[in-house]
Structure 1
Amino acid sequence: MTLIIPPRTQEIGFTVKRLLPSRLKQRVGPFIFVDHMGPAHFEAGTTAGDVRQHPHIGLATVTYLFTGAMMHRDSLGFNQRVEPGAINLMTAGNGIVHSERLPEDVREQDKTVEGIQTWLALPTEVEDCEPSFAHYPADVIPSVNLPTMSVEVLIGEAFGVTSPVKTASPTTYLDIALGADSQYSPDFPGQELAVYVVFGNVTVNGEEVSEFHLAVLDENATIATVSGARLMLLGGEPLAGERFILWNFVASSREKVRAAGERWTNGGFAMVAGETDWIPLPTVG
């Protein structure tokens, strides 16, 4: 039977549907965090929805929007507007701080904001690398149009094309529009895969997968739809070793994430230039 992970609703200034990590499964390939953000609207003249500066270690964030826009700023000095179809890849390594805010035009024009935010856990040999940032505009992300489906190859290689997005381990991330009365059988040897149903009626090996649910795929899985669907296929080669999560920190040991929490509390991270507000380390218990 296919492992199906239901969403957990979280409020982070706006509503997100959280799929990973889950008590059922921590990660799929390198994907250790998956949030479906929105759809949401934000009132003009407010800061509702802004995510104040906060830190990360041991992971790479991947931001991908369906609609709207966001403004990324980080402690390396990058200021980047993220538009639909583009990929923002921020590798935290040994530590980075960033904020994610809504541009004023998005608020004033009452634009819908919706997208997928994911984290990729880093292989242990590079989890303490120097932080970096890369932006890939929508026009460099390859797409494939087939008789029964269209695909944006966000990360990895599929259908004979390769994404320019560079990751620390072999990764697959596809945005798939599957046509009515059609099916798709992913073939990525050696990779662990899951499919997230953004909308539509979907079955995996004949078992229904509801909208906003994540289905972890067995080998030789067949994804099918009667009336059409939008899917995110995600995964990659499994990472060796355990991963521990504390707030926004991911690492191969509890000591590393605890040390990162103390470092943040004690002002040990470089901050985003020109910003003064920040999110404190949450208290537990």
Structure 2
Amino acid sequence: MRTVANIIKSERIQLGRTTVKQALPTVRVEQVSPFLLLHHFGPFQVEPGEEAFDVAPHPHRGFEPVTFLYSGGLRHKDSRNNEGILKSGDVQWMTAGRGIIHSERASPEFLENGGTIEGIQLWINLPQAKKMVEPGYQDIKVEQIPQWTEDESRVKIRLVAGDYNGLKGPAQTFTPILALQIELNREGKTFVEIPESFNAMAYILRGEVTLNENFSYKSETLLHFRNDGGGFSLKSNEPSHILVLAGEPINEPLAQWGPYVMNTQTEILEAMRDYQMGKMGFYID
């Protein structure tokens, strides 16, 4: 069994008008390579016609911003003329690469009808050789994501990225990554296998789980594992939702400033200049 290196309770931070729970980075843990950032937004209850989740146009370079939408509706638009609507269960996997400008807002349908919105935004680093690739956009619908049940249907697992249980997730990645969405009913149990070379972490969105038949952990907690075993077991003490993320670490220098993730400070300055010069495209709403 893998043991826990760090137990991270997410902290609330303000992003514009939206409050999010930040589990990564922290003062103690700057990254769990290749994962750089994990924000949990919601659950927010929105009344019909009420203003909701709205992240204005902003640039990115050198990494992949990924959104797992658990409930609600989001509208994505970017400077590469990509536009898409995410609904409950959908995943948006965007490659910023050499540079892109995008916005994420509650979808018109969701704003009209109201409801609950909740999701995870994840930043995944790109290796140096791929940081300047052409930007890309994967609009992954819930119907495309393989899922199965275990433990007499008390466990439901969805495979977003990577190879697992003889299946392959729909997300195309630049480095080996495993992304599993796990839903446990009361007393549901599962063992999560992790490749030996992968870094791994598990974020508990809601509920309470017992890890490795030992300690229990509650919602809004990130468990960062040591690389000392073939996986870990989870057992729910109450209905729980967990996002498991694992990947081959990128052992390269890291330079980061705001929305840019590169290898040197010179490259960060170049990203800032290129954005100002319009080399990341132009966002038209």
Q: TM over 0.5: same fold?
A: yes
For residues 75 and 107 of structure 1, what CA distance do their matches in structure 2 show?
24
1:206-248 CA-to-partner distances (Å, cap 9, x unmatched) read 2332210100123333333333421110121111113222111
Specify the SS of the correspondent of 1:201. strand
Tell me what 2:280 maps to: 269
Tell me what 2:137 maps to: 133
- CA apart distance, 1:90: 0.9
For residues 15 and 57 of structure 1, what CA distance do their matches in structure 2 show?
24
Q: 2:59 aligned to 55, 61, 66, which one? A: 55
For residues 206 and 48 of structure 2, what CA distance do their matches in structure 1 show?
29
Q: 1:185 aligned to 186, 191, 211, which one? A: 191
Tell me what 2:27 maps to: 23
Unaligned runs of 5+ in 1: 276-285
1:134-166 CA-to-partner distances (Å, cap 9, x unmatched) read 212111110011124110101112222111210
Tell me what 1:237 maps to: 248
Correspondence 1:81-160 to 2 at 5 A: 81-147=85-151, 148-160=154-166
For residues 51 and 272 of structure 1, what CA distance do their matches in structure 2 show?
13
Q: 1:217 aligned to 215, 219, 225, which one? A: 225
1:68-101 CA-to-partner distances (Å, cap 9, x unmatched) read 1100001110110011212211101110111111
For residues 116 and 125 of structure 2, what CA distance do their matches in structure 1 show?
29
State the identity as a percent: 27
Tell me what 1:9 maps to: 12
Q: Note if 1:194 corresponds to 2:201.
A: yes
Preserved contact between residue 44 and residue 104 of structure 1 (Cα < 8 Å): no
For residues 184 and 60 of structure 1, what CA distance do their matches in structure 2 show?
29
1:164-200 CA-to-partner distances (Å, cap 9, x unmatched) read 2101100011110123334333222221111111111
For residues 133 and 37 of structure 1, what CA distance do their matches in structure 2 show?
21
- By percentage of residues, which structure has more strand? 2
- Return closer, same or farther for 1:226/1:48 CA change in 2, 3 Å cut-off: closer
Aligned alpha-carbon RMSD (Å): 1.9
Tell me what 1:163 maps to: 169
- Return closer, same or farther for 1:102/1:165 CA change in 2, 3 Å cut-off: same
- CA apart distance, 1:46: 6.1
Match for 2:206: what amino acid? Answer: F
For residues 262 and 29 of structure 1, what CA distance do their matches in structure 2 show?
27
Preserved contact between residue 49 and residue 113 of structure 2 (Cα < 8 Å): no
1:113-136 CA-to-partner distances (Å, cap 9, x unmatched) read 101111110011111111111212
How high is the TM-score relative to the length of structure 2?
0.89
How high is the TM-score relative to the length of structure 1?
0.89
Tell me what 1:175 maps to: 181
Specify the SS of the correspondent of 1:144. strand
Tell me what 1:283 maps to: none
- CA apart distance, 1:47: 5.1
For residues 217 and 184 of structure 1, what CA distance do their matches in structure 2 show?
17
Match for 1:175: what amino acid? Answer: Q
1:228-272 CA-to-partner distances (Å, cap 9, x unmatched) read 421110121111113222111111112222332233345443122
Match for 2:241: what amino acid? Answer: R
Match for 2:191: what amino acid? Answer: S
For residues 111 and 77 of structure 1, what CA distance do their matches in structure 2 show?
28
Unaligned runs of 5+ in 2: none
